[in-house]
Amino acid sequence: MLGRLLGNASQSFLKRVSHIMKPQVIFVLGGPGAGKGTQCSKIVEAFNYTHLSAGDLLRAERGREGSEFGQLIDNYIKEGKIVPVEITISLLRQSMAETMTKDQTKNCFLIDGFPRNEDNLQGWNRHMEGKADVKFVLFFDCSNEVCIDRCLERGKSSGRTDDNRESLEKRIQTYLNSTRPIIEQYQKHGKVYTIDASRSVDEVFADVKAILIKEI
């Protein structure tokens, strides 16, 4: 079923973007609460990037009426586990295709919260090689304690079911065990910019802005 989903999405994606520029991608990684979404919003305001949050796309699909994967996604999120890569890539590709079809100049994407493990990375390489260029990784580095405190504060108004201590502790462990090794792999290839995310939003963005200006 997942293979069919990805296959159909792949054909549609290739058909839609064959006449426009290849997507240019920055992976945005860091622990839960590191400020990835906040910084991505500021990047979108200052640069011609489109922000795609893997988590937001999955949560939207989970809540979409008639979704055949809604319950599966819900179970994974509540347990702090990583959703099967076929679902995530399908949603990312669909969003990129829709964005680029509407505006051919919008081919730069911030993919926030992906790849989160080796399976994600292999899935991306398998299905997106030659179809999108990964420029580098923005790594927002922050202590576990700060991440948890930020998420608990966010949970008071976010309405997210996973902004509670039990889910957060599971998410932190998943991040440490699964995502940090992916960041380390990109570091070996010189494709990671590490940013101290424990500081204020404006201080962090000053570093982010300098990096993007350098890379443009």
At residue 7 the predicted structure's pLDDT band, cuts being 50, 70 and 90, is low
116 belongs to an annotated ligand binding site: yes
Q: Is the distance from CB of 38 to CB of 28 less than 8 angstroms?
A: no
Q: Can you give the residue range of the structural domain that contains 158?
A: 35-207
Q: Determine whether the annotation assigns residue 81 to a binding site.
A: yes
Instruction: Compute the distance between CA of residue 170 and CA of residue 176 in angstroms, rounded to an integer.
Output: 10
pLDDT above 70 (res 191): yes
CATH number of residue 139's parent domain: 3.40.50.300
pLDDT tens, residue by residue, 138-170 = 999 999 999 999 999 888 888 777 888 888 988
What's the mean per-residue pLDDT of the chain? 89
| Residue 113 marked ligand-binding | yes
115 annotated ligand-binding residue: yes
16 marked ligand binding residue:
no
The answer to whether position 41 is within a domain reads: yes
| 23 annotated as a binding-site residue | no
Q: Residue 25, annotated ligand binder?
A: no
| 80 carries a ligand binding annotation | no
User: What pLDDT, on a 0 to 100 scale, did the predictor assign at position 81?
Assistant: 85
Domain assignment of residue 11, yes or no: no
The larger pLDDT score, comparing residue 6 to residue 126, is at 126
Q: What average pLDDT score do residues 121-149 get?
A: 94
Q: Is residue 2 a part of any domain in this protein? A: no
Asked if residue 44 belongs to a known ligand binding site, the reply is no
Q: Strand pairing partners for 138?
A: 28, 193
Tell whether 115 is covered by a domain. Answer: yes
> How many domains does the chain fold into?
1
Is 199 marked as binding a ligand? yes
Helix, strand, or coil here: 31?
A: coil
> Is 66 a known ligand-binding residue?
no
- What's the one-letter identity of residue 59? R
Tens digits of per-residue pLDDT, 28-42? 999 999 999 999 999
4 assigned binding-site residue: no
Residue 35 known to bind ligand:
yes
Residue 18 lies in a domain: no
Confidence at residue 183, expressed as pLDDT on a 0 to 100 scale:
97
In a domain, 179, yes or no: yes
Q: What is the pLDDT of residue 199?
A: 95
pLDDT at 19: 47
- pLDDT one-digit tens code per residue, 65-114: 888 889 999 999 888 888 899 999 999 999 999 999 999 899 999 999 99
Check whether 17 has a pLDDT greater than 90.
Answer: no
The whole-number average pLDDT for the span 42-57 is: 94
Strands 108-112, 192-196: pairing is unpaired
